[in-house]
Structure 1
Amino acid sequence: MVPNGWKSIRLNQISETVTSGSRDWAQYYSDSGSKFIRMTNLPRDGIYLKLGDLKYVDVHSNSSDGKRTSLKAGDLLISITAELGKIGWVPPELGEAYINQHTALVRIKKESADSKYIAYLLSSHAMNHKINRLNDSGAKAGLNLPTIRSIPMVLPPLPEQRKIAKILSTWDKAIATTEKLVETSKQQKKALMQQLLMGKKRLVKSNALRSVREGFALSKIGDIPDDWEVELISKHYWYQEGPGVRKHQFTESGVKLFNGTNIQQSRIDISNTSTYISSEEAYGAYSHFLADSGDLVIACSGISVERFDEKIAFIKEAHLPLCMNTSTMRFKVKSETRACLTFMRYFMMSDLFKNQIRRQITGSAQLNFGPSHIAKCFVPLPSLDEQKKIASVLSCVDKEVDILEAKLSHIKQEKKALMQQLLTGKRRVKVAETE
């Protein structure tokens, strides 16, 4: 049912231009010049362009090549290949910019509709689902311009569109502010980790000097306090790689198998796997691969070096029983040594560890390592007391980041629910006569 005062239209009825780029712009890439908006700059959640990874092109709008795809403030952008339906809205401050053949440009008639409202509408879950169903290339994702022009929608009066767009923009600003706080907190944590794990910032009283320890040629760890040790990881920590349980051994019940995909954002989630091994095998031939509560586990295959810190977590009692599987490793502190496993977790999340692994897998952007690589890695170790204090400080920082991320998730969910109500007319806004 169409809400009172709303009209059913198609996108072409409110558009003065619907076009796309039709050329390969890579040959025009430059270190400066006009901005070049690619599909990667379009957000999957929201309408504001992501300009952190921006390309530039040495082409001007008065050239015959670039004039048709030169962007103006308020233009809508739609990804039309690969990831269909990503939406971007061009802000006034963007300046001269262009698109290629993978992106459609929609220029809205100002007297017919509010372009920011249309951007929010197209980015909504319901409309995005509708756009993806318009795929005209079968298995290969693709949208053509006639299909885009025919996208159906129901619109409120123009003043109501503007008011809704203004409300949703306020939520987007809150999201952007919180995202910036999260990113700032993560960068501060990274800097603090570097200081604490290198002994540049001490949590215990010490008059120790700093020096490069024996083994530097292998470890590349650098100068650390003289009262710290530099040891091979294997001296203080026991580690084990998961077995390669074969597909024919998988069962529908028994003991769950743990793999790298179960570690997401430094947390373990075993709800997304239905792969089991029989209890007979788990407690029989594979009993020495059964995880224990408190084990430090990592994914060691198929991930980037930069994001490795997201693939480290602790096994908890609630996760058990659990059997290790391929592409994973677990760590424990050796009983005869004085070491902290939480300290080890933060060390493995740091560049000190990543750089040692990176040098062993030169030529590959993806991590793929095992016990033989760990055996060559060094760890700088202060006293057990200082290890625990470092771990405690960094754990507190993690909790602060968790609180911000939970707040961000809540704001996004609230905005999503509000969009669903406002963009369908289930919740109406009051518009003053002057608006």
Structure 2
Amino acid sequence: MIDGWREVLLGDIAEIDLQNLGSKTKPDFEFEYISLSNVEPGRIVGPLEKCKFADAPSRARRIVGEGDILISTVRPNLLGFARVGSDHRKCIASTGFAVVKLNKSFEESYIFHLLFTHQLRAQFHALVVGSNYPAINSNDVKKLRIVAPPLFEQRKIAKILSTWDQAIEVVEELISNSQAQKKALMQQLFFGEERVFGESWSEVSIGELGEISGAGVDKKTKADEKSVRLLNYLDVLNKDYIFDKDLDHWVTAPDRQIASCDIQKGDIFFTPSSETRSDIAHSAVATENICGSVYSYHVVRLRLHELWDLNFSAYAFKSPHFFRQAYQLCEGSGQRYVLSQRYFRQMTVHVPSIQTQRTIGIILRTMDEEIAKFKAIATVLHQEKKALMQQLLTGNRRVKMESTK
């Protein structure tokens, strides 16, 4: 043990789940509810659901206060941990969280950062490994082993790490603002056509635009077939462009499928099914002829009859109007939703002249490149902070303390 540091159990330095709403709570008591889905690693994300106790989910019971730490006890390996700030001090959290209220001999920010270290993650992993359901309970949280220096050193370490948090927060705010600006601009470009460009756009059905094919290749490998790379569902979902260098899943296919399921520059691929409606009809465009590759039966290919600007193709099917059609037309039972080719052919998009396509494509591609630069900076900051945390929170690197004289 490092000189001056000590190991304690979290339950010895904190109250866990100190306050909960009881059965005698007034039915009209109103609050904002923090569900498991509202917590991402390091933060609470909204919007939060507003509830009255009588109508609230049965899990809405944990009373939280400013400075508390929320630890998701359901799939803790996903790091659903967050601090409660002034904005959320009067909220009610799910019983899927352990609510940690530290005593004054420990720095809340220090303990919070400690949750993301290898040492604590290993403890969470040991608690859920081998279980049928990856969850822990409040008693498990109380038994977490915490190693910490004296309080004044905790505060110094927390201050250093908070500086990194502030830098990350600034960059992520830039990303969020840029994405919101892009979304608003897309709405104006695709549905304010005459005001922006002074020309009428044609509303065209997908079936009129080109050849649609969903008879793709499976993921099997057979000795008597040729090896090819496979364009998968995840190569399309939440992507704009498909690049040759990104395809690395090898399968085999017969010659007839290699010929019919090829990938040519300008081909647009869509996701026809998903567990959620919101993931239906996402699209990405092939930026080049990708030799020796085929597409999976989990995606649909649209090969246009006419030449479109490549960048415009990447964005033309991402408007709220297009996704709204997919949301309404897909069919399913709640476990799986599917957009049939019959309905897919009926969906429509608005198409301008090739000159306007090029203008819109350049504008949106430029905005995406700016967002990508911000994301790259955020990634570097996260990596550097993670490395610094591992050094500071284990004592491998000690902070300089001011003289007490």
Question: Normalising TM by the smaller chain, what interval?
Answer: 0.7 to 0.9
User: Which residue pairs with 1:400 in the alignment?
Assistant: 370
| 1:182-240 C-alpha deviation (Å, 9 max, x unpaired) | 12211211111121122446665x4xxxxxxxxxxxxxxxxxx5x33223333333332
Shift of 1:51: 4.0
Task: Determine the structure 2 residue equivalent to 1:37.
Answer: 34
CA contact (8 A) 1:70 1:97 kept: yes
Cα RMSD over matched residues? 3.5
Match of 1:3 in 2: 2
Asked if the contact 1:293/1:315 (under 8 Å) is kept, the reply is yes
Return the offset for 1:99. 3.3
Write the mapping of 1:109-148 to structure 2, written as runs, cut at 5 A: 109-110=103-104, 112-135=105-128, 138-148=131-141
Unpaired runs of at least 5, structure 2:
55-59
Match of 1:330 among 301, 310, 313: 301
Matched, 1:353 2:322: yes
Instruction: Kindly indicate whether residue 172 of structure 2 is the aligned counterpart of residue 179 of structure 1.
Output: yes
Q: Output the CA distance in 1 between the equivalents of 2:304 and 2:19.
A: 58
In structure 2, what is the Cα distance between the partners aligned to 1:323 and 1:265?
20
1:427 CA displacement: 1.8
1:255 counterpart (228, 232, 235): 228
**Paired letter, 1:128:** R
2:68 to 75, 78, 81: 75
Question: Which of 232, 238, 241 does residue 214 from structure 2 map onto?
Answer: 241
State whether residues 136 and 142 of structure 1, in contact with CA within 8 Å, keep that contact through their aligned partners in structure 2: no
Which structure 1 segments of 5+ residues have no match? 60-65, 207-224
Quick check: 2:64–2:91 contact (8 Å CA) kept in 1? yes
Match of 1:315 among 259, 275, 286: 286
Alpha-carbon distance, 1:348 to partner: 0.4
The answer for the alignment partner of 2:161 in structure 1 is 168
Which residue is 2:48 aligned to? Answer: 53
2:370 aligned with 1:372: no
Distance 1:28 1:38 in 2: 21
- Cα separation, partners in 2 of 1:339 and 1:40, compared to 1, 3 Å: closer
Counterparts of 1:391 and 1:257, CA distance in 2: 27
Is the contact made by 1:251 and 1:275 (CA closer than 8 Å) also made in structure 2? Answer: no
Deviations 1:348-398 (A, max 9, x none): 011122222233226777652243223212232222111221112111111
> SS of the residue aligned with 2:387?
helix
1:105 match = 99
Change (3 A) 1:166 1:290: same
CA 1:252–1:338: 2 relative to 1, 3 Å: closer
Question: Which residue of 2 is the match for residue 218 of structure 1?
Answer: none
Structure 2 vs 1, CA of residues 86 and 7 (structure 1 numbering), >3 Å: closer, same or farther? Answer: same
Name the CA shift for 1:49/1:353 in 2 (closer, same or farther; >3 Å).
closer
Could you say what secondary structure the match of 2:4 adopts? coil
Aligned residue type for 1:421 = Q
Q: Which amino acid aligns with 2:45?
A: K
Quickly say closer, same or farther: Cα 1:77–1:407, change in 2 above 3 A: same
Q: Distance in 2 between matches of 1:50 and 1:98?
A: 14
Aligned in 2, Cα 1:242/1:161: closer, same or farther, shift over 3 Å? farther
The number of equivalent residue pairs is 395
Counterpart of 1:117, as a letter, is Y
Instruction: Report if the CA contact (8 A) 1:11-1:153 is conserved.
Output: yes
* Partner Cα distance (1:433, 1:54) in 2: 49
Aligned with 1:228 (options 179, 197, 201): 201
Residue of structure 2 equivalent to 1:213 = none
Distance 1:24 1:386, change over 3 A: farther
Structure 2 equivalent of residue 18 of structure 1: 16
Deviations 1:44-86 (CA, angstroms, capped at 9, x unpaired): x22x333433444549xxxxxx9x9432332222222344553
- Give the Cα–Cα distance (whole angstroms) in 1 for the partners of residues 190 and 332 of structure 2: 27
Other structure's SS at 2:211 match = strand
When residues 288 and 93 of structure 1 are mapped into structure 2, their CA distance, relative to the original with a 3 A threshold, is closer
Alignment correspondent of 1:215: none
> 1:194 and 2:190 equivalent?
no
Tell me the alpha carbon deviations over residues 145-177 of structure 1, each in whole angstroms, 9 at most, x when there is no partner. Answer: 333222112111111111111222222222222
1:430 paired with 2:400, answer yes
Q: Is the 8 A contact 2:34 2:48 kept in 1?
A: no
TM-score normalised to structure 2 length:
0.83
Please tell me whether the aligned partners of residues 5 and 148 of structure 2 are also in contact (alpha carbons under 8 angstroms): yes
Q: Residues of 2 paired with 1:12 and 1:253: CA distance? A: 60
CA separation of 1:238 and 1:131: change in aligned 2, threshold 3 A: same
DSSP 3-state at the match of 1:123: coil
